Amino acid sequence: MTRSDRPTIVDVARAAGVSKGTVSFALNGRPGVAEETRQRILDAARDLGWTPSHQARALSVKRALAVGLVLAREPELLGADPFFPAFIAGVERTLSDRGQALVLQVVPEAEEEAGYRRLAADGRVDGVFLLDLRVADPRIALLEELGLPAVSIARPDVPSGFPAVLVDDRPGIAAAVRHLVELGHRRIAHVAGPSQFLHAQVRREAFTQALADAGLPPGHIVEADFSAAGGARATRELLAHQPTAIVYANDLMAIAGLSVASELGVVVPGQLSITGFDNTALAAYVSPPLTTVRTDPYLWGRAAADALLASIEGGTVDDVPVPPAQLVVRASTAPALPAV
């Protein structure tokens, strides 16, 4: 077994002719070690192929040297959402530079609390990310109780008690509505996400606000669950009110909506304009290509990881703003028909 005979700092100490403690100091770049000695130790460590034992370090510094992510969504929804892989990739980018690991937990929704508790009880992680923030989210109190540092992806106006990466979906939705209004649409509807999610709520409010700003009457809003099935159902419901445009809270529902329209003989974008949100991999490759809002979850991941590590180190961490989402205009939006 290759791994059982790994050299330890004792081996390094012996090779360099110093004590264990000195090796530790040298390897950690602490003062109090003569430059020449330090070099001799580093050389010895390199020659022996020494690698720190993460377990031993974790035990003595009383840190897990890892951060956690608990995903309590349905696997089906996760699979259709490009957010997570990109977010995680961004997180990793920061973590791997800092010798930290990401511990992932995917649990059924009912076991969300247990997931966090287990992570904390085992001392598996030093902090966690808080995603999909909900209204009066019980996790906030839970994490405080557990004494676990956290960083959330949150909206600018909703304090979560933790440092947050401030993602503002409003400009994206506003841009979509403005775009539709400029195309002459006046009967614009919205398929919202579940109202228990803050980001779904924010998008919905942004939609309402944007209509008001344009001097238009309130549009029809149907709440769905971010899934394709939900998007399809909501679309059928909305089409009864004959909107000329629908703003969806995510791409998945928008693409499902596209299909429903097509099946009902409603031509997109001729009779109905459609916008999504997320700019998923498929958005540009459906027919017609979807006008949507591009976000940058990779960047959020990096920012969130930076903030979380800083928070774990103990500093007070400021909220981190990120660039606003951008509208990507494709072919699913077109001028409204002259009359209805």
Q: Does the protein bind DNA through residue 10 (CB under 7 A)?
A: yes
Which amino acid is located at 55 in the chain? Q
50 binds, among DNA, a copy of itself, none (CB under 5 to 8 A by kind): DNA
Query: For the purposes of burial, counting CB atoms within 10 Å of the CB of 335, is it exposed (0-12), middle (13-18) or buried (19 or more)?
Result: middle
Q: Report DSSP letters for 258-269, one per residue.
A: HHHHHHTT--TT
The terminus-to-terminus CA distance of the chain in angstroms comes to 75
User: What secondary structure letter does DSSP report for 283?
Assistant: G
Contact 242, 258 (CB under 8 A): no
Query: What values do phi and psi take at 244, rounded to 5?
Result: -100, -10
The correct pick among 200, 252, 272, 307 for binding a copy of itself (CB under 8 A) is 252
Structure tokens at 77: 């929804």
Q: Name which of 284, 211, 296, 199 is nearest 247 in CA terms.
A: 211
Q: Does the protein bind DNA through residue 66 (CB under 7 A)?
A: no
Q: Name which of 197, 205, 73 is nearest 134 in CA terms.
A: 197
Q: Does the protein bind DNA through residue 338 (CB under 7 A)?
A: no
231 binds, among a copy of itself, DNA, none (CB under 5 to 8 A by kind): a copy of itself
Tell me whether residue 14 or residue 220 sits nearer to DNA (CB atom). 14
The correct pick among 45, 256, 325, 334 for binding a copy of itself (CB under 8 A) is 256
Q: Does the protein bind a copy of itself through residue 316 (CB under 8 A)?
A: no
Q: Does the protein bind DNA through residue 25 (CB under 7 A)?
A: yes
The correct pick among 39, 46, 47, 53 for binding DNA (CB under 7 A) is 53
* Residue that the structure tokens 């097509």 belong to: 262
Q: How many residues does the chain have?
A: 340
Tell me whether residue 36 or residue 109 sits nearer to DNA (CB atom). 36
Q: Does the protein bind DNA through residue 33 (CB under 7 A)?
A: yes
Contact 270, 298 (CB under 8 A): no
Q: Which stretch binds a copy of itself (CB under 8 A): 40-48, 77-85, 130-138, 156-164?
A: 77-85
CA atoms within a 13 Å half-sphere pointing along the CA-CB vector of 118 = 12
Which stretch of DSSP H or E encloses residue 90?
helix 83-97
10 binds, among DNA, a copy of itself, none (CB under 5 to 8 A by kind): DNA
Q: Does the protein bind DNA through residue 21 (CB under 7 A)?
A: yes
Q: Does the protein bind DNA through residue 31 (CB under 7 A)?
A: yes
The correct pick among 42, 48, 57, 298 for binding DNA (CB under 7 A) is 57
Measured between alpha carbons, how far is 319 from 160 in angstroms, rounded to an integer? 11
Tell me whether residue 38 or residue 73 sits nearer to DNA (CB atom). 38
Q: Does the protein bind a copy of itself through residue 147 (CB under 8 A)?
A: yes
The correct pick among 15, 24, 149, 293 for binding DNA (CB under 7 A) is 24
Q: Does the protein bind DNA through residue 100 (CB under 7 A)?
A: no
Q: Does the protein bind DNA through residue 61 (CB under 7 A)?
A: yes
* Residue that the structure tokens 């909900």 belong to: 134
Contact 38, 23 (CB under 8 A): no
Q: Does the protein bind a copy of itself through residue 89 (CB under 8 A)?
A: yes
Q: How far is CA 95 from CA 89, 140, 304, in A?
A: 10, 23, 10
46-65: contacts with a copy of itself (CB under 8 A): 51-56, 58-59, 62, 64
300 binds, among a copy of itself, DNA, none (CB under 5 to 8 A by kind): none
180-209: contacts with a copy of itself (CB under 8 A): none
Instruction: Classify 62 as helix, strand or coil.
Output: coil
Whole-number minimum distance, CB 36 to a copy of itself, in Å? 28
Whole-number minimum distance, CB 85 to a copy of itself, in Å? 4
**Interface residues with DNA (CB under 7 A)?**
6, 8-10, 17-25, 27-28, 31-38, 50-53, 55-57, 59-62
